[in-house]
């Protein structure tokens, strides 16, 4: 009897639930990763970073065992696998609870059952199952705070000690053509990784965060020029670091406001996963139905200026430069640029979500979609009147000295603090003095915030009114 351990976004050999059970029960085990070309995104740093992590993991596994690669249509690949390994009777994997992954798991479970393959599926990516925490009526929460109040009282899972047994792992290369295709894919990736790869690097980074930044996390996390965040998101996205490891290491640290705030951020991961499971169409549809009729501005020119960091608002443009250059963006900036796209430019939030999916090396569907629905005021607790960020006010508050802006917008580096947030206020003399000509070295603002805010509120009100009329008719 042969068993399969199917890796996905759980790229580690320690504290890994499915692998833990596979190693405990198997006598003949195949380690497997499936590459699905239908999921590829052209010119995507998200795509590139993920496969850099897979390649690193493959190299790590192959030091003692062998990670088999399947490449192509998923059903066709697993059909070939069953034909090549007729003794295959069990499969182990860490399941997804929402989105594309859920649909894939449901489809493949049907395949496995029809082929008399017993499925062993586990929840590994979050601290709690998506359907575990309910309100007093037995219904899922729609608002974060009451969810968090229940969540923080729940007992958290502890790390699992995986006992690796390399001798039981099949080391022969079963599908050399597939592995050659994957090698070809890896050869096209950037030579330099977007971040330091692997489980060891992940734990090293987390230990550094705990030692130097955790205590001040509440104070420093909102300032993009300050090293105040954990930078763990790429590792949690790929599964190079287990969320159980994070929680258990946190438990050993002294209590502080920073620690409590960071734990709350971990709760947001669980919350958004739950929201996605309860709202499976949220990537393409607003959760609040009354906002499905917003008359979005369709200017592709304005959208591209946002993507390229050419809006004329320094905090927006610097943030987009950070994203486009590094594949990562500070969380405060994610909220600011999302608000600007939606509430200032009145461009459909789904376009922004899709662009983030292309660019972010830490892209998580549940958290990214949830964040964009939050910014768009179309999510479960949306209030458009109070969630319109003024980009200048945000810039002055969270990058007061302009350090972050100057780092990513060198054209503005000579501007004094009084002008760095609003360069359009420069006189001609100041333009000459600081070597910046608006419209040439740096763009004029593409929108006036005060005016745009009123248009946005009107558009949202119109959508609500239309939805109400539709319901009454």
- Residue 360, number of CB atoms within 10 A of its CB: 24
Contacts of 104 (CB under 8 A, 6+ apart): 74, 96
Distance between CA atoms of residues 439 and 424, nearest Å: 10
Contact 360, 237 (CB under 8 A): no
Give the burial class of 107: count Cβ atoms within 10 A of its Cβ; 0-12 exposed, 13-18 middle, 19 or more buried: exposed
Q: Which of 296, 324, 390, 396 is catalytic?
A: 296
Q: Are 72 and 178 in contact (CB under 8 A)?
A: yes
Residue 89 has pLDDT above 70, yes or no: yes
Cα–Cα distance for residue pair 388/368, rounded to 1 Å: 18
Q: What is the pLDDT of residue 239?
A: 98
Options 324, 331, 390, 407, the catalytic residue: 331
**Annotation says 268 is catalytic:** yes
Work out the percent of the chain whose per-residue pLDDT is above 90: 97
Q: Is the pLDDT of residue 282 over 80?
A: yes
Segment holding 318, helix H or strand E: helix 314-326
Residue 381 has pLDDT above 80, yes or no: no
Taking alpha carbons only, the member of 322, 315, 268, 278 closest to residue 420 is 315
Which has the minimum average pLDDT: 36-40, 91-95, 384-388? 384-388
The domains located in the chain, with CATH, are 2-125+168-187 (3.40.50.620), 289-472 (1.10.579.10)
pLDDT band at residue 462 using 50, 70 and 90 as cut-offs? very high
Are 169 and 31 within 8 A, CB to CB? yes
In whole angstroms, what is the distance from residue 16 CA to residue 249 CA?
16
Q: What secondary structure letter does DSSP report for 30?
A: E
Q: Report how far residue 467's alpha carbon sits from residue 286's, in angstroms, rounded to the nearest whole number.
A: 13
Q: What is the DSSP track for 437-455?
A: -BTTTBPPPSS-HHHHHHH
Q: 144 pLDDT exceeds 80?
A: yes
Largest CA distance in the chain: 81
Residue 383 pLDDT > 70: no
Residue in 6, 88, 328, 349 annotated catalytic: 349
Band (pLDDT 50/70/90 cuts) for residue 348 is: very high
Tally the C-alpha atoms within 13 A of residue 413's C-alpha that lie toward its C-beta. 5
The reported pLDDT for the residue numbered 311 is: 98
pLDDT tier for residue 387 given thresholds of 50, 70 and 90: confident
Helix (H, G, I), strand (E, B) or coil at 417: helix
- The closest of 71, 61, 106 to 184, measured between CA atoms, is 71
pLDDT at 382 over 80: no
Active site residue 265: yes
The answer to whether 424 is a known catalytic residue is no
Q: Measure the CA–CA gap between 19 and 402, rounded to whole angstroms.
A: 47
pLDDT level of residue 380 (50, 70, 90 thresholds): confident
Cβ neighbours of residue 388 closer than 8 Å, sequence gap 6 or more: 339, 343, 453, 456, 457
Whole-number mean pLDDT of the chain?
96
Please say whether the beta carbons of 346 and 446 come within 8 A: no
Which whole number is the average pLDDT over 250-258?
Answer: 95
What is the model's pLDDT at position 226?
96
pLDDT, residue 391, reads: 98
Helix (H) or strand (E) holding 91: strand 88-94
Catalytic option among 14, 181, 218, 265: 265
Neighbouring C-beta atoms of residue 395, cutoff 10 Å: 24
Determine the average pLDDT of the residues in 252-274.
96
Edge to edge, the sheet with strand 88-94 lists 67-71, 29-35, 2-7, 88-94, 118-122
Catalytic residue selected from 6, 372, 374, 431: 372
The predicted-structure confidence for 396-415, as pLDDT tens digits, reads as follows: 999 999 999 999 999 999 99
Is 80 exceeded by the pLDDT of residue 167? yes
Better-scored residue on pLDDT, 469 or 72: 72
Pull the structure tokens for residue 437: 């000509």
Q: Tell how strand 2-7 and strand 29-35 pair up.
A: parallel
Q: Give 384's pLDDT tier (boundaries 50, 70, 90).
A: low
CA torsion 283-287-293-299 (nearest 10°) is: -40
How does 208-222 read in b/e, with b if 16+ C-beta sit within 10 Å?
Answer: ebbeebbbebbeebb
Q: Reply yes or no on whether 281 is catalytic.
A: no
pLDDT over 80 at 395, yes or no: yes
Distance CA 288, CA 464 (A): 10
Q: How does residue 386 score in pLDDT terms, banded at 50, 70 and 90?
A: low
Quickly count: other Cβ atoms within 10 Å of residue 136's Cβ.
7
97 classed as catalytic: no
Residue 388 CA: distances (Å) to CA of 89, 229, 266, 393:
55, 24, 25, 11
* Total count of residues recorded for the chain: 473
Residue 250 makes CB contacts below 8 A (sequence gap 6+) with 210, 259, 262, 263
Q: Helices in 42-98 by DSSP H: which ranges?
A: 45-62, 74-84
Using a cut of 0.85, tell me whether the model's pTM lies above it.
yes
The one catalytic residue in 36, 196, 268, 390 is: 268
E strand or H helix at 250: helix 243-251
- What is the Cα Rg of the chain in Å? 24
């Amino acid at each position: 009897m042969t068993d399969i351990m199917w890796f996905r976004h759980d790229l580690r050999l320690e504290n890994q639930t499915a692998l833990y059970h596979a190693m405990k029960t198997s006598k003949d085990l195949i380690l497997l990763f499936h590459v699905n070309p239908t999921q590829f995104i052209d010119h995507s740093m998200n795509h590139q970073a993920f496969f850099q992590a897979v390649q690193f993991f493959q190299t790590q596994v192959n030091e003692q065992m062998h990670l088999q690669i399947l490449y192509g249509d998923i059903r066709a690949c697993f059909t070939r696998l069953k034909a090549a390994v007729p003794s295959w009777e069990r499969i182990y994997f860490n399941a997804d609870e929402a989105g594309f992954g859920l649909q894939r798991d449901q489809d493949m479970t049907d395949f496995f059952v029809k082929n008399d393959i017993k499925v062993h599926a586990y929840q590994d990516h979050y601290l709690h199952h998506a359907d575990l925490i309910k309100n007093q009526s037995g219904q899922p929460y729609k608002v974060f705070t009451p969810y968090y109040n229940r969540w923080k009282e729940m007992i958290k899972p502890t790390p699992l000690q995986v006992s690796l047994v390399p001798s039981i792992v099949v080391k022969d290369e079963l599908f050399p053509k597939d592995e050659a295709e994957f090698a070809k894919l890896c050869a096209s990736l950037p030579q330099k990784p977007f971040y330091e790869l692997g489980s060891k690097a992940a734990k090293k980074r987390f230990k550094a965060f705990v030692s130097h930044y955790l205590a001040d996390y509440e104070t420093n996390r909102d300032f993009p020029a300050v090293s105040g965040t954990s930078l763990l998101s790429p590792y949690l996205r790929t599964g190079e670091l287990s969320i159980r490891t994070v929680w258990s290491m946190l438990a050993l640290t002294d209590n502080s406001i920073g620690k409590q705030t960071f734990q709350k951020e971990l709760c947001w991961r669980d919350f958004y996963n739950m929201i996605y499971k309860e709202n499976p169409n949220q990537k393409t549809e607003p959760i609040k139905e009354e906002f499905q009729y917003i008359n979005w501005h369709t200017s592709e020119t304005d959208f591209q200026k946002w993507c390229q960091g050419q809006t004329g608002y320094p905090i927006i443009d610097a943030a987009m430069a950070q994203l486009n250059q590094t594949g990562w963006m500070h969380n405060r900036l994610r909220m600011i640029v999302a608000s600007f796209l939606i509430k200032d430019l009145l461009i459909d939030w789904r376009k922004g979500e899709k662009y983030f999916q292309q660019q972010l090396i830490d892209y998580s569907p549940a958290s990214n979609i949830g964040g964009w629905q939050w910014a768009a005021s179309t999510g479960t607790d949306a209030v458009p009147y109070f969630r319109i960020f003024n980009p200048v006010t945000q810039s002055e508050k969270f990058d007061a000295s302009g350090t972050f802006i100057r780092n990513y917008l060198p054209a503005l580096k000579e501007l004094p603090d009084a002008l760095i947030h609003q360069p359009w206020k420069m006189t001609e003399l100041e333009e000459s003095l600081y070597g910046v000509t608006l419209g040439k070295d740096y763009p004029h603002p593409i929108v006036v915030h005060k005016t745009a805010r009123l248009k946005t509120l009107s558009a949202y009100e119109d959508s609500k009114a239309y939805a109400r009329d539709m319901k009454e008719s």
